[in-house]
Amino acid sequence: MSKEPDRLFAQPLAQVPDFAFNEDVVRVFPDMIKRSVPGYPTIVENLGVLAAQFAQPNSVLYDLGSSLGAVTQALRRHVRTDGCRVIAVDNSAAMVERCREYLNGQDSMFQELLPVEVIEGDILALDFQPASVVALNFTLQFIAPDQRTALLSRIRQSLLPGGALILSEKLRFNDAEEHALLTDLHVAFKRANGYSELEIAQKRSAIENVMKPDSLEEHRERLLAAGFSKVVPWFQCLNFASLIALP
Ligand SMILES: C[S@@+](CC[C@H](N)C(=O)[O-])C[C@H]1O[C@@H](n2cnc3c(N)ncnc32)[C@H](O)[C@@H]1O
Ligand SMILES: O=C(O)C(=O)C[C@]1(C(=O)O)C=C[C@@H](O)C=C1
């Protein structure tokens, strides 16, 4: 994966544009996400471990909002169930192009990996096939809030018995003190990872219009409304969490 450091917000910008998953972001994305999301490497690797428990023979494993395919690679490292294949979907052409290159690299290094297809497309318009694992790893927060329940309902309808949705998100908190504390600690995490105050502030304005986090309670209610029977948080580090939702 690219080792280019994320300095996208290091210089003062006259006007901070809305964050987009464009070529500039693609070049620094592995560094950006690792230095911005507490627990990201743990979440990605264990998503593969979890998926191996839910994968059903001859079914699809979806990586929705796959970016550079980190989750897809983890699925392929861990899932050994017969007849499974991975479908990775992202609507950023720049991400999809680089993702395909990285997956070709994985194919050339390892044998007997699950087959994978990378689709450039909108997950809101996807025609879901029967699936045993669906991963939404920090993607739902970029979907318009009024579209989220419909998307989750369609995912629920595509899930096979014994399967699961794994949903990772940045959280907001209904309790103002808890929200302020975990937000401050997240800033401390970014500072400890070498981001300056300017970088942190400019990134905050870049994402505030495009990324709308929900609370854990909102996620649970929405998942139940979408038809899931059980919601089990399995990971939280500061204001970032991952949930298992069972059909
Ligand atoms: C924070 S990144 C996901 C990170 C990735 N899952 C990982 O674990 O490395 C969010 C991704 O979702 C994609 N995305 C946002 N909205 C989308 C949509 N409607 N359809 C498909 N992809 C979308 C973006 O292009 C971006 O690559
Ligand atoms: O909340 C932040 O400050 C972030 O940088 C989070 C976040 C994310 O959760 O996806 C936002 C955009 C980038 O894709 C990487 C990280």
CA distance 144 to 3: 31
Whole-number Å distance, alpha carbon 54 to ligand 1 midpoint, is 22
Q: For tokens 């998307």, name the residue.
A: 151
Ligand 2: residue of 8, 37, 142, 238 to mutate (most ligand atoms within 8 A of CB) is: 37
Q: What pLDDT, on the 0 to 100 scale, is given for residue 102? A: 97
Q: What pLDDT, on the 0 to 100 scale, is given for residue 114? A: 97
Question: Bridge-partner residues for 214, per DSSP?
Answer: 171
Q: For tokens 């497309």, name the residue.
A: 121
Structure tokens at 221: 């209610």
Q: What pLDDT, on the 0 to 100 scale, is given for residue 231? A: 98
State phi, psi for 131 to the nearest 5 degrees: -125, 150
User: Starting at the edge strand that comes first in sequence, how are the strands of the sheet with 116-120 ordered?
Assistant: 116-120, 85-90, 60-64, 131-137, 159-170, 240-246, 230-237
* pLDDT values of the chain reduced to their tens digit, one per residue, 247 residues: 678 999 999 999 999 999 999 999 999 999 999 999 999 999 999 999 999 999 999 999 999 999 999 999 999 999 999 999 999 999 999 999 999 999 999 999 998 899 999 999 999 999 999 999 999 999 999 999 999 999 999 999 999 999 999 999 999 999 999 999 999 999 999 999 999 999 999 999 999 999 999 999 999 999 999 999 999 999 999 999 999 999 9
Task: Classify domain 40-171+213-236 at the CATH topology level.
Answer: Rossmann fold (3.40.50)
Q: Which residue in 80, 81, 118 sits closest to 102, CA to CA?
A: 118
CA quadruple 188, 191, 196, 199: dihedral positive or negative?
negative
Residue type, 225: A
Domain with CATH 3.40.50.150 in the chain: 40-171+213-236
Give the number of other CB atoms < 10 A from CB of residue 96.
21
CA distance 34 to 18: 21
Q: What pLDDT, on the 0 to 100 scale, is given for residue 2? A: 73
CA distance 41 to 50: 14
What DSSP assignment string belongs to 178-227? HHHHHHHHHHHHHHHTT--HHHHHHHHHHHHTT---B-HHHHHHHHHHTT
Q: What pLDDT, on the 0 to 100 scale, is given for residue 131? A: 98
Whole-number Å distance, alpha carbon 138 to ligand 1 midpoint, is 7
Structure tokens at 246: 């069972």
Give the number of other CB atoms < 10 A from CB of residue 38.
20
CB neighbours of 173 closer than 8 A, spacing ≥ 6? 179, 182, 215, 239
Ligand 1: residue of 142, 147, 148, 168 to mutate (most ligand atoms within 8 A of CB) is: 142
CB neighbours of 35 closer than 8 A, spacing ≥ 6? 6, 190, 193, 194, 195
